[in-house]
């Protein structure tokens, strides 16, 4: 016989009120009674209070850690606190044969018992979407904090509650995408060990959800991390795997472009050109309206940034400027504007001008990027500016006041780049 959540909830509420404890006080007592390791894994107090109210309302029953914390705080044994319902579960099957009809009703009740209603799942999905759009618009640490909080809520439901199979799959999908987003953010902030940890766990969640879409998103994030760690062969392989998994959405364009970028870094310009061709074909086959945010989108300007890098690898500054022109034209026609992509395009134009010996043109292109506030100066921007700085240090710019001044401005910009607190990797489990 399954434990009766309503009866247990009433008992838990009665024991709490008999001790004249508020829900807030009980939540604090839980944290005090928990071990140091468990305390680090516990949700925020506001979420813990919500969980306690859910228990008392009979929405679900305590399991694992919270079950034992109730006993510790109330100084009661499990048998005394939870009563005969759960003791009955331990009896031999022969002693608990209900009538067939009653057994069917109990099975139906068990199937319908869940700690994740449709409203909660819709909220998690909507908030995940919002954060993938915010990735391109807000300071990265702000997005990281929000994504971490939302992930904690989703994983708490997964680890401490009970859902129907479809609901569990949805929670794994949300968790996978949030972890992939955190992988991207970790890479943007130069915290590569944390990014790798997030990517690893994101992949496990995508596997549990058995979702090719989420496998593709995770592989895109992992490929970006590998690229910035200069693990170019891994970056290319991860992007190609993601391309094969991805449905015909913008993420597939992004993955082919990422593969091209990594291959050119390996000196494989022929392979990079083939990958760019796949990216163009993926755009032709695109199914619009996938609903994914800017983190996984690849509008024409973003696609141009990857082609621009291949052109840089080929040493073709005219090709680079054609890609800059294509991006600017796409923006003029209404394509999504993202500060990171815009910065990459302007810096790419600056690099092309330095390659052509046009230092004034480089300074004009790079100048607006140097006005970005510190909380937007991520690694992908400061790293590219380092290329401009390196080229301006070449012998042909010796004695150029413009080149010297631009180098100093870039150094100041990079010195004032985002300085972030350590990003913790996800906990085991």
pLDDT tens-digit map of 24-76: 889 989 988 887 777 777 888 888 888 898 888 888 888 878 888 898 899 88
Structure tokens at 402: 């413009």
Q: Specify the pLDDT at position 200.
A: 95
CA 329 vs. chain centroid, Å, equals: 30
Q: Specify the pLDDT at position 98.
A: 46
Domain 5-112 has CATH 3.40.50: no
State the pTM of this model: 0.69
Please give the helix or strand (H or E) that residue 312 lies within, else none: helix 300-313
Q: How far apart are the first and last CA of the chain?
A: 29
Phi/psi region, residue 360 (left: phi>0; alpha: psi -120 to 50; beta: rest), is alpha
Using only C-alpha atoms, the chain has a radius of gyration, in whole angstroms, of 27
| 85 vs 414: CA distance, rounded Å | 64
* Domain parsing of the chain, residue ranges: 5-112, 120-287
Q: Specify the pLDDT at position 208.
A: 92
Residues recorded for the chain? 429
Specify the CATH class of 120-287 in words: mainly alpha
Long-range contact list for 80-85, CB < 8 A, 24+ apart? 81/11, 81/12, 81/15, 82/3, 82/8, 82/11, 83/7, 83/8, 83/11, 85/1, 85/2, 85/3, 85/4, 85/7, 85/8
Q: What is the pLDDT of residues 152-168, one digit of tens each?
A: 988 888 887 677 778 88
CA 55 vs. chain centroid, Å, equals: 30
Low-confidence stretches of the chain (pLDDT < 70) are: 1-3, 84-118, 161, 290, 418-429
- CA torsion sign for 210, 213, 218, 222 is positive
The structure tokens 């071990």 sit at: 35
């Amino acid at each position: 016989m399954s434990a009766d959540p309503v009866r247990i909830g009433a008992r838990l509420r009665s024991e709490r009120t008999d001790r004249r404890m508020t829900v807030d006080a009980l939540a604090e007592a839980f944290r005090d009674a928990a071990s140091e390791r468990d305390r680090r894994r516990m949700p925020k107090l506001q979420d813990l209070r919500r969980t306690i109210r859910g228990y008392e309302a009979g929405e679900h029953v305590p399991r694992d850690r919270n079950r034992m914390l109730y006993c510790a705080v109330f100084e009661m044994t499990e048998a005394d606190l939870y009563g005969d319902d759960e003791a009955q579960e331990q009896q031999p099957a022969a002693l608990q044969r209900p009538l067939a009809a009653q057994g069917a009703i109990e099975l139906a009740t068990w199937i319908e018992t869940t700690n994740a209603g449709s409203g909660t799942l819709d909220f998690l999905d909507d908030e995940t979407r919002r954060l993938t759009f915010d990735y391109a618009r807000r300071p990265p640490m702000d997005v990281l904090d929000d994504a971490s909080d939302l992930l904690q809520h989703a994983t708490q439901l997964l680890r401490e509650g009970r859902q129907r199979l479809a609901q569990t799959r949805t929670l794994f999908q949300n968790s996978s995408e949030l972890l992939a987003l955190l992988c991207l953010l970790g890479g943007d902030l130069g915290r590569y060990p944390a990014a790798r940890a997030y990517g690893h766990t994101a992949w496990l969640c995508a596997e549990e959800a058995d979702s090719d879409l989420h496998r593709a998103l995770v592989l895109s994030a992992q490929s970006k991390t590998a690229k910035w760690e200069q693990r170019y062969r891994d970056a290319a392989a991860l992007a190609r795997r993601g391309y094969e998994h991805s449905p015909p959405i913008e993420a597939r364009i992004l993955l082919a472009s990422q593969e091209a970028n990594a291959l050119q870094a390996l000196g494989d310009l022929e392979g990079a050109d083939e990958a760019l061709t796949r990216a163009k074909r993926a755009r032709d086959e695109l199914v619009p309206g996938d609903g994914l945010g800017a983190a996984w989108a690849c509008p024409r300007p973003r696609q141009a940034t990857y082609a621009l890098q291949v052109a840089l690898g080929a040493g073709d500054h005219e090709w680079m400027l054609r890609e800059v022109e294509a991006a600017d034209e796409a923006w003029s026609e209404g394509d999504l504007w993202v500060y990171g992509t815009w910065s990459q395009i302007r810096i790419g134009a600056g690099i092309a001008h330095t390659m052509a010996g046009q230092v004034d043109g480089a300074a004009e292109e790079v100048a607006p990027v140097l006005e970005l506030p510190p909380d937007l100066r991520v690694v992908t921007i400061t790293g590219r500016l380092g290329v401009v700085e390196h080229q301006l240090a070449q012998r042909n710019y010796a004695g150029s006041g413009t080149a010297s001044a631009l180098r100093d401005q870039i150094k100041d910009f990079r010195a004032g780049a985002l300085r972030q607190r350590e990003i913790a990797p996800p906990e085991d489990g």
